[in-house]
Amino acid sequence: MAEGEPLAYVNGTFLPLSEAKVSILDRGFQFADGVYEVIPVYAGSPFRLGAHIRRLARSLGDIGMDLPMATAAFAEAVYELIKRNEGGDCQAYIQVTRGEAPRNHSFPEAVHPTVVMTCTPVTPVPGEWVRDGVAAISVEDIRWARCDIKAISLLPNVMMRQKAAEQGAYEAIWMHEGRAVEGAASNLFAVFDGEARTPPDGPRVLPGITRDVVLELAADEALPVRTGEITADELAAAEEVWVTSSTKEILPVTRLDQQPVGSGRPGPLFRTVLDAYRARIQAIREHGEEGPS
């Protein structure tokens, strides 16, 4: 083990990342038969760990699996992984697959799930992304019909993020039957007449943890943010557009399909919501997260 090498968790064992291995017969490798979570960690404290584990359990249930260990044991393993990797600001990644089995499309009758966790440093969001905003493109939604499951089968997302990068954009926003639903790796908010809307939960939208935090903050501070459908025409005429995710928090989109969004600068409601979000994160850095979030 190289000095300072990160540690991973594989099926109950902590070991150097370079030694962490799973079988080539694992159904995650063969079929993308599994789900995952990415948990932001601030000053050693995982943010909304309970919510992430609940979403993991829901995704597993939707593909016919149970959480492979008790919720408390899962949380303990995450905390131990963070501790062994010296805490600080990082991101914890959890992946659960159906496990190793002979290659057959049907579920195996007896198989042990594979549980892998890693902890890696976060790359700070460039200051100019928040100051000036980022670009996005709109793309036809080519994914499957259960986008609410946080599955590891992300090839369409990879393809569209690459398409965005080749056009000098940060994100690709999925369009389905004339409606904007979410980003390839984020949830979506758009502002109309001073009020922000985010598409409601459903089979085409992953229920984002950061998105839910924004909705909670809006309710706590009486900010004009709600759930509601966003048509393609509305998105093109929005005053503000934001995207949210666990690793990038809240980012303003100031260019969409090579056209300015609103004034072409981050808008006032974005700044208000970002300030509230950052205040919540600062409290976690100072005191940790309270409650079973």
User: Is 150 part of the annotated catalytic residue set?
Assistant: yes
- Take residue 103 and report the two structure tokens written for it: 């290659």
* 103 and 133 fall within a common domain: no
pLDDT tens string 202-256: 999 999 999 999 999 999 999 999 999 999 999 999 999 999 999 999 999 999 9
* Alpha carbons 78 and 69: distance in angstroms, whole number: 12
* 37 and 111 fall within a common domain: yes
Angle between helices 209-220 and 49-62 (to 10 degrees): 130
Catalytic annotation, pick one of 21, 150, 163, 248: 150
Q: What residue type is assigned to position 86 of the chain?
A: E
CATH code of the domain covering residue 21: 3.30.470.10
* pLDDT level of residue 3 (50, 70, 90 thresholds): low
- Tell me what pLDDT residue 2 has: 59
* Alpha carbons 124 and 187: distance in angstroms, whole number: 19
Q: Is residue 47 part of a domain?
A: yes
Say if residue 280's pLDDT is above 60: yes
pTM: 0.94
DSSP state of 202: B
* Alpha carbons 223 and 115: distance in angstroms, whole number: 40
Say if residue 290's pLDDT is above 70: no
193 Rama class: left (phi>0) / alpha (psi -120 to 50) / beta: left
| Structural domain that includes position 20 | 7-121
